[in-house]
């Protein structure tokens, strides 16, 4: 299997110099229009002169591995940039736990120096909350304070030194933390509503899984499995489960309008948010696609009412405060708008019954649901319940969603659902009507399925390169002694071409240290560096001298040929 894949991949790359031509040939009815290709250029740095940058060149796919090291193909190396407990700035703040999403923000247009936002998703083990991983001024803090400090996000300044090694600049004036102790402003219809206890500001963010970048150079970070920490902190759980926005360059977090405190956008709904993928509709509005990582959950999209105006810069953030929220009905191929009027009409029917996909998570009765939904804020706070009531399709753990730079099709990682035997998951491709992200009609196909035949299982984060390859990391529990999982090795990263002769085939590029999950793949604009997080490793990864605990963190992968 490995040899066959290698031969095919080399063949693909050997003929792949004209990637756009291959795209047109391979996609058939989905051939990208000039308009679609152009609209996506800026997102991926596509080279209009050479037609392709062919950035990821020839690599020999690696075999499965069970070791406690990060394994890469021949010719590729990695630098460990920052790990849990590292000091990140002169104030002594430290890098959090559970590294996930990475977003690189170039400084002065450089691919060699910039700010890196890294999500710090969760505390994998309270025993790892050692005092020395806290800032000096906070050592001796309570367990709860440590939990809250080490989740959220970390902004660090990173650079490539004269020897080509990536390092963290701990003298940075930008480096700082947003975490469970940081105030956030609520925006949108649920702010100040009774559905959130009247709050306009809430304390903290945690469970930050994946996310994305806005068109105005800020980060969106997604609160995923927020419930447990909300309970441990004795906080109102309706203050969590949102998409937050932070401007890494706004050091004081005061904002251009003195009002850009870090935000939680209630218009994007409250659920177990995995990530966001932002694009433009044909008429210039913002579309944000989102996954809800739980079994039997829906795929969402938000469309702003206003249009994106590049000259407004970060003021475009207001677009995320006012728009329509939809969930996908895969039976009808319709995006269903989630409105209080529609929910009320549904629950008020005399024959209304509590749908199965709601009963899986709640004991709510028909009367409970009728009481739950009074205003649009209630729809935004109880998004999953509203979506299911309105006929949106429960799917198998929709995690990362990405928009193809070639044709505006939407790739969704459906990680798995062990409750009904979808052990290895699949990647679904949505095709919007007229390739318009603003459409309310779509069709879809299964782009790739996990399993022995493909070599991957449980696809999670996705990231496109400018050649249309989908970089896919996996999230399962590796087990050498399991008949079902022994063929898959440690969690890995795969490259899956989305067009051409090898479309849908997975080629293993990286294998994580034992116990870990690789998360947050993100390329620099020149695509010479791939940032990648190593989450919940075991042993003492990354094996620095003197370490007695594992330290999740972020690495920079180098070796991409042009
Ligand atoms: Fe935090 Fe859905 O992975
Ligand atoms: Ca994830
Ligand atoms: Ca995951």
Q: Using the atom order of ligand 1, give the atom closest to the CA of residue 224.
A: 1
> For residues 298 and 392, is the Cβ–Cβ distance under 8 A?
yes
Q: Which ligand is nearest to the CA of 461?
A: 2
Q: What pLDDT is attached to residue 117?
A: 98
Question: Residue 220 CA to chain centroid, in angstroms?
Answer: 9
Q: What is the mean pLDDT of residues 128-138?
A: 98
503 — pLDDT class (breaks 50, 70, 90): confident
**Using CA atoms, how far apart are residues 166 and 262, in angstroms rounded to an integer?**
28
Q: Using the atom order of ligand 1, give the atom closest to the CA of residue 100.
A: 1
Q: What pLDDT is attached to residue 74?
A: 92
Instruction: Lay out the sheet containing 219-223: strands in order across.
Output: 201-203, 183-187, 263-265, 243-246, 219-223, 208-213
- 158 vs 500, which has greater pLDDT? 158
Q: What is the pLDDT of residues 416-439, one digit of tens each?
A: 999 999 999 999 999 999 999 999
As to burial, measured by CB atoms within 10 angstroms (0-12 exposed, 13-18 middle, 19+ buried), residue 436 is middle
Q: Using the atom order of ligand 1, give the atom closest to the CA of residue 121.
A: 1
**Using CA atoms, how far apart are residues 141 and 559, in angstroms rounded to an integer?**
42
> For residues 497 and 12, is the Cβ–Cβ distance under 8 A?
yes
Q: What pLDDT is attached to residue 560?
A: 86
Q: Which ligand is nearest to the CA of 225?
A: 1
Q: Which ligand is nearest to the CA of 293?
A: 1
Q: What is the pLDDT of residues 453-488, one digit of tens each?
A: 999 999 999 999 888 899 999 999 999 999 999 999
**Using CA atoms, how far apart are residues 269 and 132, in angstroms rounded to an integer?**
37
Q: What is the mean pLDDT of residues 111-117?
A: 98
Q: How far does the centroid of ligand 1 lie from the alpha carbon of residue 398, in Å?
A: 10
Residue nearest to atom 3 of ligand 1 (CA): 209
> For residues 536 and 124, is the Cβ–Cβ distance under 8 A?
yes
Q: Using the atom order of ligand 1, give the atom closest to the CA of residue 475.
A: 3
> For residues 73 and 161, is the Cβ–Cβ distance under 8 A?
no
Q: Which ligand is nearest to the CA of 98?
A: 1
> For residues 473 and 519, is the Cβ–Cβ distance under 8 A?
yes
Q: Using the atom order of ligand 1, give the atom closest to the CA of residue 399.
A: 2
Q: How far does the centroid of ligand 1 lie from the alpha carbon of residue 150, in Å?
A: 17
Q: What is the mean pLDDT of residues 92-121?
A: 98
Q: What is the pLDDT of residues 326-339, one digit of tens each?
A: 999 999 999 999 99
What is the H or E stretch that residue 386 is in?
helix 383-389
Q: How far does the centroid of ligand 1 lie from the alpha carbon of residue 100, in Å?
A: 9
> For residues 453 and 473, is the Cβ–Cβ distance under 8 A?
no
What are the pocket residues of ligand 1 if the criterion is a CB atom closer than 6 Å to any ligand atom? Answer: 121, 209, 224, 274, 293, 399, 460
**Is residue 449 scored above 80 in pLDDT?**
yes
> For residues 185 and 261, is the Cβ–Cβ distance under 8 A?
yes
Q: Using the atom order of ligand 1, give the atom closest to the CA of residue 225.
A: 1
Angle at 459 between CA 326 and CA 452, to 5 degrees: 135
**Using CA atoms, how far apart are residues 249 and 230, in angstroms rounded to an integer?**
29
Q: How far does the centroid of ligand 1 lie from the alpha carbon of residue 463, in Å?
A: 15
SS3 164: coil
Q: What is the mean pLDDT of residues 233-244?
A: 98
**DSSP character at residue 71:** B
Q: What pLDDT is attached to residue 13?
A: 37
DSSP string, 468-530: SEEEEEE-----TT-TTTTTT-S-EEEEEESSSTTTT--EEEEEPPTT-EEEEEEE-TTSS-E
Q: What are the strands, taking DSSP E only, across 433-474?
A: 442-449, 459-464, 469-474
Distances, alpha carbon 124 to alpha carbons 102, 120, 121, 356, in Å: 19, 11, 9, 31
- State percent of the chain over pLDDT 70: 88
SS3 61: coil
As to burial, measured by CB atoms within 10 angstroms (0-12 exposed, 13-18 middle, 19+ buried), residue 423 is middle
Q: Using the atom order of ligand 1, give the atom closest to the CA of residue 210.
A: 1
Q: How far does the centroid of ligand 2 lie from the alpha carbon of residue 517, in Å?
A: 9
Q: Using the atom order of ligand 1, give the atom closest to the CA of residue 415.
A: 2
**DSSP character at residue 446:** E
**Using CA atoms, how far apart are residues 429 and 532, in angstroms rounded to an integer?**
24
Residue with tokens 């696809």: 459
Q: What pLDDT is attached to residue 55?
A: 37
Q: What pLDDT is attached to residue 406?
A: 87
pTM of the model: 0.91
Instruction: Lay out the sheet containing 492-497: strands in order across.
Output: 459-464, 469-474, 492-497, 507-511
Q: Which ligand is nearest to the CA of 476?
A: 3
Q: What pLDDT is attached to residue 562?
A: 62
SS3 129: coil
> For residues 116 and 105, is the Cβ–Cβ distance under 8 A?
yes
259 — pLDDT class (breaks 50, 70, 90): low
On the question of a cis peptide bond just before residue 542, with omega within 30 degrees of 0, the verdict is: yes
Residue nearest to atom 1 of ligand 1 (CA): 209
SS3 557: strand
Instruction: Give the tokens for residue 421.
Output: 């035997």
Q: Which ligand is nearest to the CA of 122?
A: 1
Q: How far does the centroid of ligand 1 lie from the alpha carbon of residue 553, in Å?
A: 16
Q: How far does the centroid of ligand 3 lie from the alpha carbon of residue 458, in Å?
A: 9
Q: How far does the centroid of ligand 3 lie from the alpha carbon of residue 460, in Å?
A: 6
Q: Using the atom order of ligand 1, give the atom closest to the CA of residue 122.
A: 1
Q: Which ligand is nearest to the CA of 474?
A: 3
Q: How far does the centroid of ligand 1 lie from the alpha carbon of residue 241, in Å?
A: 13
**Is residue 348 scored above 80 in pLDDT?**
yes
Q: How far does the centroid of ligand 1 lie from the alpha carbon of residue 386, in Å?
A: 22
Mean pLDDT of the chain: 90
Q: How far does the centroid of ligand 1 lie from the alpha carbon of residue 400, in Å?
A: 9
Distances, alpha carbon 382 to alpha carbons 30, 241, 358, in Å: 36, 10, 11
What is the H or E stretch that residue 167 is in?
strand 166-168
**Using CA atoms, how far apart are residues 286 and 371, in angstroms rounded to an integer?**
33
Q: How far does the centroid of ligand 3 lie from the alpha carbon of residue 240, in Å?
A: 18
Residue with tokens 């995320």: 320
Q: What is the mean pLDDT of residues 13-32?
A: 33
With a CB cutoff of 8 Å and minimum separation 6, the contacts of 232 are 144, 147
């Amino acid at each position: 299997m490995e040899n066959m894949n290698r031969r095919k991949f080399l063949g693909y790359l050997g003929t792949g110099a004209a990637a756009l031509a291959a795209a047109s040939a391979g996609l058939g009815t989905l051939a990208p229009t000039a308009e679609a290709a152009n609209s996506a250029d800026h997102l991926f740095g596509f080279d209009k002169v050479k037609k392709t940058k062919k950035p990821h060149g020839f690599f020999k796919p690696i075999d499965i591995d069970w070791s406690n090291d990060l394994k890469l193909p021949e010719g590729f190396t990695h630098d460990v940039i920052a790990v849990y407990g590292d000091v990140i700035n002169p104030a002594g703040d430290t890098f959090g736990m559970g590294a996930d999403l990475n977003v690189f923000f170039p400084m002065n247009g450089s691919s060699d120096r910039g700010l890196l936002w890294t999500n710090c998703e969760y505390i994998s083990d309270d025993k790892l909350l050692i005092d020395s991983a806290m800032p000096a001024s906070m050592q001796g803090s309570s367990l709860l304070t440590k939990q809250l400090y080490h989740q959220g996000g970390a902004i660090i300044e990173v650079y490539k030194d004269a020897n080509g090694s990536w390092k963290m600049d701990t003298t940075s004036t930008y480096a700082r933390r947003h975490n469970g102790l940081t105030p956030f402003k609520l925006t949108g219809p649920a702010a100040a509503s009774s559905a959130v206890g009247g709050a306009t500001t809430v304390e903290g963010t945690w469970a930050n899984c994946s996310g994305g970048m806005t068109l105005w150079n800020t980060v969106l970070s997604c609160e995923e499995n927020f419930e447990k920490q909300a309970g441990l902190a004795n906080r109102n759980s309706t203050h969590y489960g949102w998409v937050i926005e932070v401007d890494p360059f706004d050091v004081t977090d005061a904002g251009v309008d003195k009002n850009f405190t870090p935000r939680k956008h209630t218009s994007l709904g409250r659920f177990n948010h995995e990530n966001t993928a932002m694009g433009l509709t044909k008429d210039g509005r913002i579309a944000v696609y989102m996954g809800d990582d739980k079994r039997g959950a829906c795929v969402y999209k938000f469309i702003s009412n206003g249009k994106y105006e590049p000259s407004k810069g970060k003021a475009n953030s207001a677009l995320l405060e006012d728009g329509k929220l939809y969930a996908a009905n895969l039976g009808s191929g319709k995006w269903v708008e989630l409105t209080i009027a529609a929910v009320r009409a549904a629950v008020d029917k005399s024959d209304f019954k509590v749908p199965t996909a709601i009963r899986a998570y709640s004991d709510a009765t028909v009367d409970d649901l009728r009481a739950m939904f009074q205003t649009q804020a209630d729809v935004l706070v109880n998004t999953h319940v509203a979506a299911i009531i309105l006929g949106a399709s429960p799917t198998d753990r929709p995690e990362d969603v990405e928009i193809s730079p070639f044709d505006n099709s939407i790739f969704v990682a459906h990680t798995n659902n062990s409750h009904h035997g979808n052990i290895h998951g699949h990647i679904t491709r949505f095709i919007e009507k007229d390739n318009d992200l603003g459409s309310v009609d779509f069709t879809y196909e299964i782009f790739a399925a996990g399993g022995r035949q493909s070599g991957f299982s449980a696809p999670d984060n996705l990231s496109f390169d400018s050649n249309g390859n989908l970089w896919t990391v996996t999230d399962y529990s590796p087990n050498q002694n399991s008949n079902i999982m022994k063929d898959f090795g440690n969690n890995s990263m795969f490259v899956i071409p989305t067009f051409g002769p090898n479309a849908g085939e997975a080629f293993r590029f990286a294998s994580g240290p034992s116990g870990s999950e690789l998360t947050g793949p993100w390329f620099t604009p020149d695509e010479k560096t791939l940032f990648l997080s190593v989450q919940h490793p075991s042993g003492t990864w990354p094996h620095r001298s003197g370490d007695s605990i594992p330290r999740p963190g972020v690495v920079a992968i180098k070796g991409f040929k042009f």
